[in-house]
């Protein structure tokens, strides 16, 4: 056997022992959860309930993918919830005043991208730690939402727009179909593009990435803009589901997104993570919440369980590296 063949076999073994092993473990956990909730609840495994679960998971799952990109670059984005709220209320304001849906969507996504641009500028050019930079934009954007709306819901949205959340495509919820398309796009970016490879390279070793000629500015700006645009899409879909422009929409979503990405195998140190892992992490989080609610488990106990999962996931990541 040649040396090159041996190296290829070793690389395949490492690949299996890395992300594929994590994803397989997550699938096993998900199957166990489904079995437990299906046997303890008469409602959980019914078709209508599963469709509701898909709708709920889709919003969190979209945000988790955006968060995955940022975490993989060794950053963090606490502004995702505020961007969801901003996108939602801008869409609602436009539609309530009779503007066409395409214009409302474009305006919402442009403003969402602007938040990502600010985050990227603060982190790269301003050298502000990502936690502080995005916490600042989170606070500012949420305050702007309250000023724009007067802290009141925006109603009077077209029935066609509100119907998107309940619409089915080939028997599947439209929200899930939109999430699936985003999953495919994100997977393609991470696996088939230079930008995707640069994210992992920069997150793994910043100095080595700079010395190897990677455009650091493009990479950092790119991940934060991508995260914000993805959250803008989530905000539009959430507004359709709620049927109104809600100023507090998206509040707390940043924690769920981080949880989904970390439980899905993303390392807070950067350089590791997968789209499929984040997807599975989001499904596990949503399944825990919905199953727990159906069984009448106290919501505070559910939060303790989810918080513990995050800590355990981070601990396992640290133990694996040291």
* pLDDT tens column, 129-154: 999 999 999 999 999 999 999 989 99
Residue 262 is encoded by which pair of tokens? 């970390």
pLDDT value at residue 11: 42
Contact 102, 110 (CB under 8 A): no
Q: Is the pLDDT of residue 305 over 90?
A: no
Each residue's pLDDT tens digit, 82-91: 999 999 999 9
Each residue's pLDDT tens digit, 38-52: 888 888 888 888 888
Unique residue bearing structure tokens 């803008």 = 232
C-alpha dist (Å) from residue 217 to 34, 111, 221: 43, 20, 6
Global pTM value: 0.88
pLDDT value at residue 90: 96
Q: Cβ of 126: how many Cβ atoms within 10 Å?
A: 12
Instruction: Work out the mean pLDDT of the chain and round it to a whole number.
Output: 88
Q: Is residue 21 very low, low, confident or very high in pLDDT (cuts 50, 70, 90)?
A: confident
Contact 177, 169 (CB under 8 A): yes
Each residue's pLDDT tens digit, 251-299: 988 988 998 998 888 888 888 889 999 999 999 988 988 888 888 888 8
Enumerate the domain spans of the chain: 28-33+41-321
Q: Is residue 320 very low, low, confident or very high in pLDDT (cuts 50, 70, 90)?
A: low
Unique residue bearing structure tokens 């709920």 = 56
Q: Which CATH architecture has domain 28-33+41-321?
A: Orthogonal Bundle (1.10)
Q: Is the pLDDT of residue 5 over 50?
A: no
Bridge-partner residues for 168, per DSSP?
Answer: 173
Each residue's pLDDT tens digit, 227-247: 999 999 999 999 999 999 999
Each residue's pLDDT tens digit, 166-178: 888 888 889 999 9
Least confident of 15-19, 31-35, 124-128, 240-244: 15-19
Alpha-helical segments (H) within 127-215: 130-149, 159-162, 174-192, 194-204, 206-211
Q: Is the pLDDT of residue 19 over 80?
A: no
């Amino acid at each position: 056997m040649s040396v090159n063949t041996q190296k290829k076999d070793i690389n395949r073994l490492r690949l299996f022992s890395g992300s594929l092993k994590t994803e397989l473990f997550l699938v096993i956990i998900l199957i166990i959860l489904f079995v437990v909730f299906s046997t303890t609840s008469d409602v959980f495994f019914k078709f209508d309930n599963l469709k509701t679960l898909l709708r709920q998971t889709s919003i969190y799952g979209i945000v988790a993918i955006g968060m995955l990109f940022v975490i993989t670059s060794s950053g963090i984005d606490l502004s995702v919830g505020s961007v969801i709220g901003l996108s939602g209320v801008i869409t609602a304001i436009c539609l309530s005043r009779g503007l066409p849906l395409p214009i409302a969507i474009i305006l919402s996504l442009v403003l969402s991208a602007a938040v990502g641009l600010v985050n990227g500028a603060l982190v790269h050019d301003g050298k502000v730690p990502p936690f502080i930079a995005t916490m600042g934009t989170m606070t500012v954007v949420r305050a702007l939402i309250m000023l724009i709306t007067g802290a009141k819901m925006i109603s009077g949205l077209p029935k066609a727009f509100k119907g998107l959340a309940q619409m089915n495509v080939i028997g599947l919820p439209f929200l899930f179909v939109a999430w699936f398309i985003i999953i495919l796009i994100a997977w393609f970016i991470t696996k088939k593009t230079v930008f995707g490879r640069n994210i992992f390279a920069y997150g793994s070793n910043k100095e080595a990435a700079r010395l190897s000629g990677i455009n650091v500015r493009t990479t950092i700006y790119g991940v934060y803009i991508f995260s914000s645009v993805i959250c803008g899409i989530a905000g539009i879909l959430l507004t359709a589901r709620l049927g109104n422009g809600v100023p507090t929409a998206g509040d707390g979503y940043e924690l769920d997104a981080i949880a989904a990405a970390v439980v899905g195998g993303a390392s807070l140190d950067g350089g590791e993570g997968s789209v499929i892992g984040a997807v599975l992490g989001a499904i596990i989080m949503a399944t825990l919440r919905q199953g727990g609610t159906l069984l009448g488990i106290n919501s505070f106990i559910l939060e303790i369980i989810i918080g513990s999962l995050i800590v355990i996931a981070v601990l396992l990541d640290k133990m694996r590296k040291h």
